[in-house]
Amino acid sequence: MIQINSVASYLPKKIVTNDDLSKTLDTSHEWIYTRTGISSRHIAADDEFASDLALNAAKTALKKSNLDPKDLDAIIVTTITSDRRFPSVACKVQGKLGANKAFALDVNAACAGFIYGLAVADSMMKSMNLRNVLLIGSETLTKFVDWTDRSTCVLFGDGAGAFVLQNSTDNSRGIIATKLYSNGHEEKYNYLLAHSSLQKVDKNYVTMVGRSVFKYAIEYMAMSMTEILEENNMSIDDIDWIIPHQANKRILESMCKMKNFPIEKVIITTDTHANTSSASIPLALDDAITNRTVKKGDTLLFTALGAGLTWGSAIVRL
């Protein structure tokens, strides 16, 4: 099975609270917190890009796995905020790490990116017989928000999370299943036209119809979790922790209510991370491992929805 050997993350130093935002925007901590569960977010420096965040998370993950960059067969980065339109963030990380044996590619599935990346890594590792793969979610969405638009800018933060994945003959732990979905008809609800972090088109910001995304997120994540559990003859009782994309705490509460899933099983980091797009799942997992909530051997259910629309779920035994 393909196993998660180590988990690591990196958050930029600068923290911006809701109170900080309310100094320049017509908003308040109360409004933001009650509607989203967000209190603060980390923001990348002007000269800090997705590849820098990814590199930091990658180095820690490799250290935790006692691996040298030269042991890597591939580097997969999930991102919608690459430094440049091309080359990929993954290639940049590969070069900076000196992972000379590894090929590198980016995956773009917006906020569902990490589930897509996990599915891509799982199938490539099996079909190409790869031993060690670095999967990184790295995002700097705060470089693409309109800081005068209170309905979007308060929602996002920056960060990166990384997994070292290893191909193992041990079948007691690892990626049990992944399930992906897309619906391009819903493109209008959430998109970004900008070129890249280094060269932005004037006034090209994240555009979102918040209420519609909210509704789809609840319905589609709930549906994909139910389907993946059923297809694998499992129920929510077989799951120790749900680790969802961290867009909005209210979305997670409504999603659990819809399916009668216990909210106590959900890892929630919206409070201090905000929405870090495809980085949010590995960031949340690393946080939960660090504070000893999630332990080796636990069965995890990942789920996410993002622009596209894209969505999906994965079941993993850690």
- H/E/C letters for each residue in 190-209? EECCCCCCCCCCCCCCCEEC
CB of 79 to ligand COA, least distance (A): 14
- CA 238-242-243 angle, to 5 degrees, is 145
Q: How far apart are CA 36 and CA 43, in angstroms?
A: 18
Q: Which residue has the tokens 């790869």?
A: 130
Q: Does 284 bind ligand COA (CB under 6 A)?
A: no
Residues 6 or more apart from 161 whose CB is under 8 A from it?
7, 8, 9, 10, 57, 114, 136, 137, 138, 279, 280, 281, 282, 283, 284, 285, 286
- Out of 2, 54, 115, 247, the residue judged to bind ligand COA by CB under 6 A: 247
The footprint of ligand COA on residues 99-128 (CB under 6 A) is: 111
Query: Which residues on neighbouring strands pair with residue 315, listed in sequence order?
Result: 177, 301
Residue 247 vs 300, nearer CB to ligand COA: 247
| Residue in 94, 248, 310, 313 binding ligand COA, rule: CB under 6 A | 248
Closest separation in Å from C-beta 122 to ligand COA? 23
Q: Which of 16, 31, 180, 181 forms a contact with ligand COA (CB under 6 A)?
A: 31
72 versus 155: smaller Cβ distance to ligand COA = 155
Name the residue nearer to ligand COA (CB basis): 154 or 225.
Answer: 154
The residue range among 1-9, 28-36, 49-57, 227-235 that interacts with ligand COA, by the rule CB under 6 A, is: 28-36
Give the x-and-dash track for 75-104 against ligand COA (CB under 6 A).
Answer: ------------------------------
- Contact call for residue 29 and ligand COA (CB under 6 A): no
Return the closest-CA partner of residue 216 out of 114, 316, 110: 110
Q: Buried (b) or exposed (e) across 225-259, using 16+ Cβ within 10 A?
A: bbebbeeeebebeebbbbbbbbbbbbbbebbbeee
- Window 148-177: residues binding ligand COA (CB under 6 A): 150-151, 154-155
Tokens 């690393």, located at residue: 286
Please identify, using beta-carbon distances, which residue of 55 and 213 lies nearer to ligand COA.
213
Which residues are marked as active site?
111, 245, 275
Instruction: Give the integer Cα–Cα distance in Å for 253 and 39.
Output: 17
* Segment near ligand COA (CB under 6 A); pick from 54-62, 140-148, 204-212, 285-293: 204-212
> Which H or E run includes 1?
none
| Overall residue count recorded for the chain in this entry | 318
- Write out the residues near ligand COA by the rule CB under 6 A: 27, 31-32, 35-36, 111, 150-151, 154-155, 208, 210-211, 213-214, 217, 247-248, 275, 305-306
